[in-house]
Structure 1
Amino acid sequence: MAPITWLDKLEQELDIDIDWMDSDFLRSYLPKIRFHDQTSNQGFVDVQLDHPSNAQLIIDTAREVKAEHEDAASTNTLLKQHPLWVAIYTRMSVLMAAKNVDLISGRTLLQTLPSLAYDYEATLAHAHLYAAEFARVGVSRDRFCIKIPSTGPALNAAKTLQTEGIQTLGTALFGLAQAIACSQARCLSISPYYNDVRVHTDRSVWPETKDPAVEHPNSPRILQILEAYRRLYKETGQDQPLMKNASFVNAEESMAAGEMGCQSVTLFHGIIEDLASRPYDPESPTRPGGKAAEGRPKPEHHYRDRPDVNDRLKPLLEVDHLSKASAAPDYDALSKVDYLADNGKALDAAIKADTAAADRLDVALTLFITAENSSRAKVEKALAAI
């Protein structure tokens, strides 16, 4: 019997999603591993727009959408509601995502434009265009999900989408108030960033630790979000968003997500390769924290059957290293705030009061807007070539 790897062990504890859109990479792991969801953002879409396999596709798509956009008799009024470059970008994103649907077992995810993150109507309209484009290529609603930035206005758009049967994920999430707002929007999932996105270009801001589950400054917030959802499920009987933890730097951090009880992780291709290369010895675990850090097998129901936090991690429920708080959150008080009322005014105020969340959200949106602008230039270059 072949030895199990860290990747195999982590898959026993949670679902492993791929944060990469390269079809060849996904195929390279078949048939042994079929990742659950494929996540993306403006950065990954921008990378794929440069892939040689998409060179002709972007020209063809630009020509096709331009003709539809300019056709006065066209019945595709939704597409024509958007600037031409957005219509082309959206169709191109869906085409690239749809190429991989048969290579995964779950959903493919695309993110609404970050430049619209504080505009309810515009975010809703862009999500509707994604949904229409997925329908156009035959991808059913149970195979895609729309990523929505976790701001007050955008999560109100997510709430509307959920009532329409379009599943959403609250992304760019850095604090407990954002997580509770995602629950109030009835999001399918959330994607808390374990690390500030700046670590991926500047390692000097990375809080490198030997045992991330216990030592990483963001571990308390991850555990407290999960605890808040456990309590909300117990109190209301309503399903809570599933945690799709993201923004890891190394394999050790992703293994920490297994111990903390996250429902899934979304991993860069490099971390997946590293996990797959490391043998796992169940008798003498090599993961940080040793045998005491082993995560539990996936529960039948993520919150109804959620076990108590293990003894190693319990102290983290009482602190917040990012705000220097010394007490556990007041879950009852937080859950009584209507974060989505008045276009999300209470949520945006809570984010502003949480300096770590506010700073990291601003940096993440700026990063994604930069990628959005880069993609716009590529679309406009394709338009100029036809």
Structure 2
Amino acid sequence: MTQNALNQLKSLTTIVADSSDLTAIETFRPLDATTNPSLITAAANQPENKELIESAFDQAKKEGYVSDELIERTIDILTVKFGVEILKLVEGRVSTEVDAALSYDTEATIAKAKELLALYAQYGIDQNRILIKIASTWEGIQAAKALESKGIHCNLTLLFGLHQAQACAEANVTLISPFVGRILDWYKKAENVEYYPIDKDPGVLSVKQIYHYYKQHNIQTEIMGASFRSVDQVLGLAGCDLLTVSPNLLAELEKDQRTVEVQLSTDHAHAHGHHDIQPLNKQNFKDAVEKDLMSFQLLQGGIDSFIKAREQLSTLLRQSFGIDAEIKP
């Protein structure tokens, strides 16, 4: 009997659940899981997570936080609590994101990462099971470099091009998450194109370029394709180190009976032309991002959307605990 596409894919690539939905994670049993502010906010709106939210708020109050800091601390505790619950369901790691508002502040990102890890330690979670998720700005990458030097593993997210991937490799980060679907969305709008075949899909091609560069130069940083719009995009990167996939696409893959073919491998990478790239510094990194309109817009847009999601969660918590009057003078 032919295996479904999901099972075939699992034999080629580590599959990660892109979700904070504990039920979905329990259903698909991926090795790892990733979260982001949007996913945490969505999960916080689910009635079954009310107890988790209340316990996070109570803990923040017991720690002596008040006013705006009470809500911010509650969000951090809640984010970690979701991570702890996820780790009960997966054998591997969970990615936990630093507040996107800190994306251009290296020292603040480092401090927040350590705060999150200290919270995980309170729940008895080994830091090797945590990936600190940071936006791929120059400042974020430098924060990750400092954290990695201390043995703290990082996942660099909102990554849209080779220049960001190169900077992450030079920083020796554990893992990068190049976004596939958001790149496709941008090109469809910019070029007024309704459909790209997978062999011409800009998001898929971007990840392939990064994969080839990493394998050609024996870079140890793991590549985890993210932000997929279709099962075809997912299967278009079969063989990538990891792929983080939403529950709805995991369900589609489970029903799909097609034969999955390897699209990425080290041998395949070496068969392609080598990329000769100069070392990066802050200025030429920022120049490269600004010259690439797609990368520039999506990086800032992604940061803004994650900030907005955190603000929505803040509003939800204020309303839930009736403390607007306490916080806002």
TM-score normalised to the size of structure 1?
0.77
1:93 aligned residue: 79
Q: Select the residue among 228, 232, 235 that pairs with 2:213.
A: 228
Which amino acid in structure 2 is aligned with residue 195 of structure 1?
G
CA deviation profile, 1:292-349 (whole Å, cap 9, x unmatched): xx2079x7xxxxxx212498xx5xx6xxxxxxxxxx8xx3333x22x3xxxx443222
Q: Select the residue among 258, 271, 277 that pairs with 1:333.
A: 277
Answer yes or no: is 1:69 the counterpart of 2:67.
no
The whole-number CA distance in structure 1 between the counterparts of 2:263 and 2:233 is 16
Bigger CA radius of gyration: 1
The whole-number CA distance in structure 2 between the counterparts of 1:57 and 1:142 is 24
The whole-number CA distance in structure 1 between the counterparts of 2:82 and 2:276 is 43
Does the CA-based 8 Å contact 2:16-2:245 persist in structure 1?
Answer: yes
Q: 1:114, CA displacement in angstroms?
A: 1.1
Where in structure 2 are there 5+ consecutive unaligned residues? none
2:18 aligned residue: 19
Q: Select the residue among 236, 243, 250 that pairs with 2:223.
A: 243
2:37 aligned residue: 42
The whole-number CA distance in structure 2 between the counterparts of 1:90 and 1:70 is 12
Q: 1:383, CA displacement in angstroms?
A: 4.3
Answer yes or no: is 1:371 the counterpart of 2:315.
no
Which amino acid in structure 1 is aligned with residue 202 of structure 2?
P
Q: 1:83, CA displacement in angstroms?
A: 2.8
Answer yes or no: is 1:218 the counterpart of 2:203.
yes
1:268 aligned residue: 246
Using a 3 Å threshold, how does the CA distance of structure 1 residues 24 and 207 change in structure 2: closer, same or farther?
A: farther
Counting only pairs closer than 5 Å after superposition, residues 302-381 of structure 1 correspond to structure 2 as 306-309=266-269, 331-334=275-278, 336-337=279-280, 339=281, 344-381=282-319
Q: 1:132, CA displacement in angstroms?
A: 0.7
CA deviation profile, 1:230-265 (whole Å, cap 9, x unmatched): 2332xxxxx52111001111111100011xx41111
Using a 3 Å threshold, how does the CA distance of structure 1 residues 168 and 310 change in structure 2: closer, same or farther?
A: closer
The whole-number CA distance in structure 1 between the counterparts of 2:285 and 2:317 is 34
1:128 aligned residue: 114
Does the CA-based 8 Å contact 2:204-2:233 persist in structure 1?
Answer: no
SS at match of 1:279: coil
Using a 3 Å threshold, how does the CA distance of structure 1 residues 207 and 252 change in structure 2: closer, same or farther?
A: farther
**Identical positions, percent:** 24
The whole-number CA distance in structure 2 between the counterparts of 1:125 and 1:182 is 19
SS at match of 2:268: coil
Does the CA-based 8 Å contact 1:37-1:104 persist in structure 2?
Answer: yes
Using a 3 Å threshold, how does the CA distance of structure 1 residues 65 and 197 change in structure 2: closer, same or farther?
A: farther
Q: 1:70, CA displacement in angstroms?
A: 4.4
The whole-number CA distance in structure 2 between the counterparts of 1:374 and 1:219 is 31
How many residues in Structure 1 have an aligned counterpart in Structure 2? 323
Using a 3 Å threshold, how does the CA distance of structure 1 residues 310 and 158 change in structure 2: closer, same or farther?
A: closer
The whole-number CA distance in structure 2 between the counterparts of 1:61 and 1:219 is 39
The whole-number CA distance in structure 1 between the counterparts of 2:237 and 2:110 is 31
2:262 aligned residue: 295
Where in structure 1 are there 5+ consecutive unaligned residues? 72-81, 234-238, 288-293, 300-305, 318-327
Does the CA-based 8 Å contact 1:115-1:369 persist in structure 2?
Answer: yes
Point out the more displaced range, 374-383 or 243-252: 374-383
Q: 1:198, CA displacement in angstroms?
A: 8.8
Does the CA-based 8 Å contact 1:152-1:345 persist in structure 2?
Answer: no
The whole-number CA distance in structure 2 between the counterparts of 1:142 and 1:102 is 15
Using a 3 Å threshold, how does the CA distance of structure 1 residues 349 and 310 change in structure 2: closer, same or farther?
A: closer
Q: 1:384, CA displacement in angstroms?
A: 3.0
CA deviation profile, 1:160-180 (whole Å, cap 9, x unmatched): 111111100110000111001
1:291 aligned residue: none
Does the CA-based 8 Å contact 2:212-2:270 persist in structure 1?
Answer: no
Which amino acid in structure 1 is aligned with residue 154 of structure 2?
T
SS at match of 1:332: coil
Q: 1:36, CA displacement in angstroms?
A: 1.4
CA deviation profile, 1:82-139 (whole Å, cap 9, x unmatched): 9332211111111011112121121011111111111112211111111111111111
SS at match of 1:69: coil
TM-score normalised to the size of structure 2?
0.89
2:166 aligned residue: 180
CA deviation profile, 1:61-81 (whole Å, cap 9, x unmatched): 21221221349xxxxxxxxxx
Which amino acid in structure 2 is aligned with residue 14 of structure 1?
T
2:90 aligned residue: 104
Which amino acid in structure 1 is aligned with residue 227 of structure 2?
S
Q: Select the residue among 185, 189, 195 that pairs with 2:175.
A: 189
CA RMSD between the two structures: 2.8
CA deviation profile, 1:195-233 (whole Å, cap 9, x unmatched): 227949xx9679665741x12023332222112212332
